[in-house]
């Protein structure tokens, strides 16, 4: 499974990237707003930090305007992935952009039918929002499973990017089902390493080591 971090905070991105486990970054207008920086400036810096795809989202709702914005975003860096809304215009733009060799991420997916359309449009990534489905008492993981089965049935190359991830269990469950990518906030990715028994074991080892009075090196 690939790990993307869902933020526009460059300090957080550098920290996660330095672990050697980061495969890409996703951003959106809300995350850009939280960064308090110009979209072109911050996106360019993010692209310089990571080698993998950096999703930058268009804000236009009409096909022609989406393509104009996508042209601006694509010039930022070679690893830009154009993020598009799951609308008819967005799918049309996806088809055109992937045809021109751009990476695309179709976002705000909430049904298997939507995911099927995105794959037909040639999307590089489809982003089902599992946390938001859970918020309204729907099973986000069921959606991941349905998309996985449909994509496998027809050998679609679109990658399932599990988004709106809130917990470490979301990451685990998405991996068990077979999502290709997970994007999560920095805190959630860092929390994957945590387990109380690991902490307890380390405390015991260090206490015993201190009693030996030895040092290594």
Residues noted as catalytic: 83
Strands in the chain per DSSP E: 2-6, 24-26, 54-57, 80-85, 103-109, 125-128, 159-162, 181-184
Distance in angstroms (rounded) separating the CA atoms of residues 10 and 16: 10
112 neighbors 150 (Cβ within 8 angstroms): yes
DSSP for residue 196? H
Question: What does the alpha-carbon distance between residue 113 and residue 115 come to, in Å, rounded to a whole number?
Answer: 5
Q: Which helix (H) or strand (E) holds 20?
A: none
User: Which residues, 6+ apart, have CB-to-CB distance to 23 below 8 Å?
Assistant: 2, 3, 4, 52, 53, 181
């Amino acid at each position: 499974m690939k790990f993307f971090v869902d933020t526009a905070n460059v300090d957080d991105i550098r920290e996660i990237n330095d672990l050697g486990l980061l495969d890409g970054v996703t951003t959106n207008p809300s995350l850009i707003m939280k960064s308090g920086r110009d979209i072109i400036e911050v996106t360019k810096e993010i692209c310089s930090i990571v080698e993998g795809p950096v999703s930058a989202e268009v804000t236009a709702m009409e096909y022609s305007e989406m393509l104009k914005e996508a042209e601006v975003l694509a010039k930022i860096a070679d690893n830009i992935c154009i993020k598009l809304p799951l609308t008819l215009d967005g799918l049309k733009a996806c088809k055109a952009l992937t045809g021109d060799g751009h990476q695309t991420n179709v976002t705000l997916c909430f049904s298997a039918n939507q995911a099927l359309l995105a794959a037909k449009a040639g999307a590089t990534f489809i982003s089902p929002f599992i946390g938001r489905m859970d918020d309204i008492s729907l099973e986000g993981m069921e959606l991941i499973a349905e998309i996985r089965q449909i994509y496998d049935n027809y050998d679609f190359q679109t990658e399932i990017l599990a988004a709106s991830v809130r917990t470490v269990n979301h990451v685990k469950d998405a991996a068990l089902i077979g999502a290709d990518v997970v994007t999560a906030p920095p805190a959630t990715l860092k929390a994957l390493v945590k387990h109380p028994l690991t902490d307890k074991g380390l405390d015991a080892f260090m206490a015993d080591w201190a009693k030996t009075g030895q040092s290594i090196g």
